[in-house]
Structure 1
């Protein structure tokens, strides 16, 4: 709508002898209860016109109508100038803009961005929190790609540390040599089982020590299991062959399990980083910071940074014994990633419990003078709860990602069979459809909400075919494809003499797709896309129910409505793909 803005600038110049810029023109979508598609807020112009908002709006409206053939009418409600755009303009937009193959795909902007997400621990399977992380990261990467960025999808795997040794030690003690092959169990589930076993046995030992007079803290430190796990970690860091072999074997099981879950989720990565390769990075950055005076050393030899003047606190960056802490490693990994890809921006998709950590990390790197630090961004997201309560991992009650996916497929199967429209599907087609609907429901429910918000995920609500859900949008796409399959498009640019309001409204929404992609890319918010596609699906269904397509009054109208249906299906498909959601051809 730049042409409206440009002529409004001219109108103010001619009518009120005042120069304004396009940024001074506030353009909005017209509210549903009023005639028009575009609204100009006239209040700011009254200081130039020295007239009421209504009179100012009428004068600018008359100017626009006289200057622009595409302005067919206008009305003024208080300080709002509502403009009706001609049918011819919207029809042209449909054929020349929306129907173009590259609609919704921006030209390369020359900028490179890394999106790091997933970041699993190799001591347990992926859970519901990981699901939101993966879906959010992958969708943001898809959106940024559409917006013209070169995107690197990265995964930093937490494959070392005391938690990994706990699983390893428990398997040594109680595993009896079992493997994923011998048990038929996914590797990540098998390793996760031993992490839970360790925790249960560790708690037993703590209680036994407390029973003979030790305090809780003493018992936690003195329990034989934790001491053995700590010893194993030291052996790993020393490169003990047997420990390293076991670590590689069990991590291999986990990676195979993760790969299957990632495939089911429909996410992928371009680059993997591993903590086992990066945990020693950052020590040279600490030396650099000491030399420049950004860091300081305490009497015990530990190295710190004082961030009190920035409203934070003092932060440890290297222990007295010379070992790294998380912030040390993250400084080094941040530099490694930049050295590898020289990206303009680096986005960390990590839960909001790490807000403080990333605030500190980014501030330290800026104080160290790293030019790329200004491009670092923490995409913080909220916890996901189920109706049964908050997730817990160490007690073995984690909401497992694979179990969740299976439950979604089962729920999709139940709801779909109740509708009774897939009797002609083969069993293979049914299985694929249940997965497509189940994953569409899960992804849409998690992505339609602003990432910052904590959310309550209800599997049953998410598969409602009539609600604000993924399946509703998927069903709308299948409905359109069904209509198109029963007709031939013979007139590729049919132009009816009039547009019904539902037809015009649908085209208006279709044209907004690129603006929504910009908005979603700028805010790293897939929710903007999700809610847009929902509004588009609603608008199509309104059009579908109000106007006959295959039985239209004449062939020209029929061909136009087929074109409008085709465009709607294309944009729904593109929009849902940005969320990582597949839309079926039939269901």
Structure 2
């Protein structure tokens, strides 16, 4: 039981004894004590004045005296206006460190019996992953790990957009200009090779538009009449008709892309339990449309198209099936949502998709609810903002995209340069150096993208992200390595201060109080689907340890009991940093 829960229960008793009133636990407001005041836990006393018939200060004093007298964890108190600040006994914090924080299960909640699906990545197979995909993948993976730590059974899935006009553009350009080029003959990763032909298509398309407008067509006419776009559209029709040659070309080029994606996913450290492919799901949903027509949820217009009227919900009328019976995106998304639920029967389903799709998901979830799908209430769109670089916004069709592979390589190179400048690799083998540069470079990238709340648009500055003294992953990694170095010098193996009873210093107590918050931070991260809570918690923990390290002796403490206790405190800090960073998909080094 946390100290906050204990205090809530004891305040219920205090109010009952002092004012003969029973109060609900959720009516008691508990806060962390502000740094300028003594204490660790603050109780807001204003709500109790209606029972006590006294001022907030008098009420706080009476409750404080009751707690000090009757609750062993409460050592002292002070009242500032309507706030009762409680000082928790050192014995409580020592026990919390040695018996809770030090346990292997600290920060891992027991199974809650619930199942959650996290769908993320969802790439197109016409180009490699870029910086925006990196944020998507890191968010999806981290949220999945956080939910797992909270006791959920987690299913990570990837819905791949492997069909449509975009992939036909790459296929056609390869046919026209590729001369049989393959990943092996070109030395390019498969996704990069296919992306190259997507860019070639776009350049050729623009040339043809320019030529047609020069001949007198309007730009809109030229866009429709350019021979290359007509050929791409014809190829799509052939694909949908099952044309053998087109299907074989599609299968070959998608195979190249998947091999390339796997390399990128491995480098990013993300994984999936199941892949869904739009080529399998794009015809789904028509049964759902029929079901909706029968239930009166949808209506047919005179031309045969099917719609839903969401004006009463503050939205508009939405097309769900074209007049010719073909699907729109919402059709297949309705069908895919049903398929995923049929496959896994999950309690929650998280869609990690950029905020440009906010409206789409609002409509999708609302339609499913109107169709009476009981599981629809468990659907959630984890919407995130775009990532910019200092040089400006990314544009994929023009070949100026910030490629994920190149970005990771650049981060690792920068990590190498910074680490060698600072002389942090003395005594490392070449293999150990390479592993460390990977750890630092990718840690910097991941931390920088995850420390910001998902909804916010962010500016990614590679140089700022790798600062060893900043609000960065490398700062936390270096702190972990520093602690492990202290432990190595002490030949520390396991918890050693079993019966410690000394008075804690302010920094010792602050560090334990901070460590004790870790499970609450994980719970908050899971509730809000936000790895930023954990990223910023671990940074503050690392910062606090560095202050402790500089101001308190650990290995040179005169009292052996103090030395051993501080080693235990350091080990618990390293373990918690490691656990927190692991939930962000970030490895931490043992030395540097």
TM band (smaller chain): over 0.9
> Which residue is equivalent to 1:434?
437
Provide the TM-score with structure 1 as the length reference: 0.99
> Which residue is equivalent to 2:121?
118
> Which residue is equivalent to 2:223?
220
8 Å contact from structure 1 (residues 496, 556) kept in 2: no
Task: Give deviations 1:55-82, integer Å, cap 9, x for gaps.
Answer: 2111111110000122111111111111
> Which residue is equivalent to 2:43?
40
8 Å contact from structure 1 (residues 306, 313) kept in 2: yes
8 Å contact from structure 1 (residues 280, 329) kept in 2: yes
Out of 427, 449, 456, the residue aligned to residue 452 of structure 2 is: 449
Runs of at least 4 residues off by over 3 Å: none
| Matching of residues 74-153 of structure 1 within 5 Å | 74-153=77-156
Q: Find the aligned partners of 1:491 and 1:248 in 2 and give their Cα distance.
A: 60
Q: Find the aligned partners of 1:494 and 1:548 in 2 and give their Cα distance.
A: 20
Out of 350, 355, 358, the residue aligned to residue 355 of structure 1 is: 358
Secondary structure in 1 aligned to 2:456? coil
> Which residue is equivalent to 1:499?
504
Secondary structure in 2 aligned to 1:563? helix
> Which residue is equivalent to 1:551?
556
| Matching of residues 259-270 of structure 1 within 5 Å | 259-270=262-273
> Which residue is equivalent to 2:572?
567
Deviation at 1:492, TM superposition (A): 4.2
Q: Find the aligned partners of 1:316 and 1:469 in 2 and give their Cα distance.
A: 46
Deviation at 1:494, TM superposition (A): 4.8
Secondary structure in 2 aligned to 1:399? coil
> Which residue is equivalent to 1:488?
491
Q: Find the aligned partners of 2:322 and 2:373 in 1 and give their Cα distance.
A: 23
8 Å contact from structure 1 (residues 133, 350) kept in 2: yes
Moved more, 51-60 or 552-561: 51-60
Out of 457, 464, 467, the residue aligned to residue 464 of structure 1 is: 467
Out of 4, 8, 23, the residue aligned to residue 7 of structure 2 is: 4
Q: Find the aligned partners of 1:524 and 1:491 in 2 and give their Cα distance.
A: 37
Q: How many residues align?
A: 587
| Matching of residues 161-176 of structure 1 within 5 Å | 161-176=164-179
Moved more, 61-70 or 221-230: 61-70
Q: Find the aligned partners of 1:259 and 1:21 in 2 and give their Cα distance.
A: 53
8 Å contact from structure 1 (residues 202, 226) kept in 2: yes
Out of 525, 528, 541, the residue aligned to residue 546 of structure 2 is: 541
| Matching of residues 53-68 of structure 1 within 5 Å | 53-68=56-71
8 Å contact from structure 1 (residues 494, 559) kept in 2: no
1:289 and 2:302 aligned: no
1:204 and 2:222 aligned: no
Deviation at 1:86, TM superposition (A): 0.8
Deviation at 1:18, TM superposition (A): 2.0
Q: Find the aligned partners of 2:238 and 2:272 in 1 and give their Cα distance.
A: 31
Q: Find the aligned partners of 2:501 and 2:295 in 1 and give their Cα distance.
A: 72
Task: Give deviations 1:398-455, integer Å, cap 9, x for gaps.
Answer: 0100011011111111211111121211121111111100111111111111100001
8 Å contact from structure 1 (residues 494, 556) kept in 2: no
8 Å contact from structure 2 (residues 91, 501) kept in 1: no
> Which residue is equivalent to 2:16?
13
Q: Find the aligned partners of 1:571 and 1:196 in 2 and give their Cα distance.
A: 46
> Which residue is equivalent to 2:529?
524
Deviation at 1:498, TM superposition (A): 1.2
Q: Find the aligned partners of 2:105 and 2:251 in 1 and give their Cα distance.
A: 46
1:417 and 2:415 aligned: no
Secondary structure in 1 aligned to 2:353? strand
> Which residue is equivalent to 1:583?
588
Q: Find the aligned partners of 1:566 and 1:206 in 2 and give their Cα distance.
A: 65
> Which residue is equivalent to 1:30?
33
Deviation at 1:496, TM superposition (A): 4.3
Q: Find the aligned partners of 1:431 and 1:532 in 2 and give their Cα distance.
A: 28
Moved more, 46-55 or 351-360: 46-55
1:508 and 2:500 aligned: no
Secondary structure in 1 aligned to 2:351? strand
1:326 and 2:329 aligned: yes
8 Å contact from structure 2 (residues 497, 561) kept in 1: no
Moved more, 526-535 or 116-125: 526-535
Moved more, 488-497 or 195-204: 488-497
Q: Find the aligned partners of 1:461 and 1:494 in 2 and give their Cα distance.
A: 44
Secondary structure in 1 aligned to 2:266? helix
Q: Relative to 1, partners in 2 of residues 1:153 and 1:26: Cα closer, same or farther, differing over 3 Å? A: same
> Which residue is equivalent to 1:195?
198
Q: Find the aligned partners of 1:440 and 1:542 in 2 and give their Cα distance.
A: 23
Task: Give deviations 1:174-208, integer Å, cap 9, x for gaps.
Answer: 00101000011000000000000000100110011
Q: Find the aligned partners of 2:181 and 2:12 in 1 and give their Cα distance.
A: 75
Secondary structure in 2 aligned to 1:73? strand
Gap regions ≥5 residues in structure 1: none
Q: Find the aligned partners of 1:349 and 1:155 in 2 and give their Cα distance.
A: 10
Q: Find the aligned partners of 2:292 and 2:83 in 1 and give their Cα distance.
A: 57
Provide the TM-score with structure 2 as the length reference: 0.98
Deviation at 1:268, TM superposition (A): 0.3
> Which residue is equivalent to 2:259?
256
Deviation at 1:53, TM superposition (A): 1.6
8 Å contact from structure 1 (residues 386, 456) kept in 2: yes
Q: Find the aligned partners of 1:298 and 1:73 in 2 and give their Cα distance.
A: 73
Moved more, 164-173 or 466-475: 466-475
Deviation at 1:491, TM superposition (A): 2.6
Gap regions ≥5 residues in structure 2: none
8 Å contact from structure 1 (residues 350, 381) kept in 2: yes
Deviation at 1:457, TM superposition (A): 0.6
Secondary structure in 2 aligned to 1:506? helix
Task: Give deviations 1:478-531, integer Å, cap 9, x for gaps.
Answer: 000000001134734251411101000100111111111111101101111111
Deviation at 1:386, TM superposition (A): 0.5
Deviation at 1:14, TM superposition (A): 1.8
Secondary structure in 2 aligned to 1:369? coil
